[in-house]
Structure 1
Amino acid sequence: MSEEKELSFEEAMEKLESIVELLEDGEAPLEKAIAIYKEGMDLSRVCHKKLKSVEEQLTQILREDGELAKFTAEEE
């Protein structure tokens, strides 16, 4: 899984989308489908970690005076 950790978010998402397409196609033999599914779950974790990291970075924003302020985003 060290390879996935080095992927950018966009690269991991692209691979994950390819895996979803393969699984939706339904043509892969069961053993291969299971391996592909596991790889997809690993990529999903990588994406989640990267998004969580960005979210944590965005929770604080510099105000104009240089002080850190808590960032809150209202959900629609």
Structure 2
Amino acid sequence: MPAAKRTKKNTEEKPNMEEFEGLSVEEAFKRVDDVISAMQEDDISLEDSFRRYKEGMDLLKVAGAMIDKVEKEALKISEDGELEIFEDEE
């Protein structure tokens, strides 16, 4: 009988945006630094380490989304010197 194959499910969850609402990119990265510092403590439990890891990853996703939004809204200068809103050509 063939061995059962494991399939990798997409378990990536979207972060709870309400938890991070109102954060700036700088504040999100500061919180990531705080998470990293906490994870480096000698007395952190495995459960707390996993919880903080998830929080850090969620913060990075949120910060990345904010950066993407700003990039899409960035202004560009056209050939005639006018400012135009950058439009994603996807």
TM-score scaled by length of structure 2: 0.62
Mark the runs of 5 or more structure 2 residues left unpaired by the alignment. 1-15
Give the secondary structure class of the aligned counterpart of 2:28. helix
Q: Distance in 1 between matches of 2:83 and 2:68?
A: 23
Percent of pairs with identical residues:
26
Q: Which protein has the bigger helix share?
A: 1
2:59 to 28, 31, 43: 43
Indicate the residue corresponding to 1:61 in structure 2.
Answer: 76
Alignment of 1:1-76 (within 5 A): 1=16, 2-58=18-74, 60-63=75-78, 65-66=81-82, 68=84
Aligned Cα RMSD in Å? Answer: 2.2
Which has the higher Rg, Structure 1 or Structure 2? 2
Indicate the residue corresponding to 2:3 in structure 1.
Answer: none
Q: Is the 8 A contact 1:19 1:37 kept in 2?
A: yes
Q: Structure 1 residues 69, 30: CA separation in 2 closer, same or farther (over 3 Å shift)?
A: closer
TM-score scaled by length of structure 1: 0.72
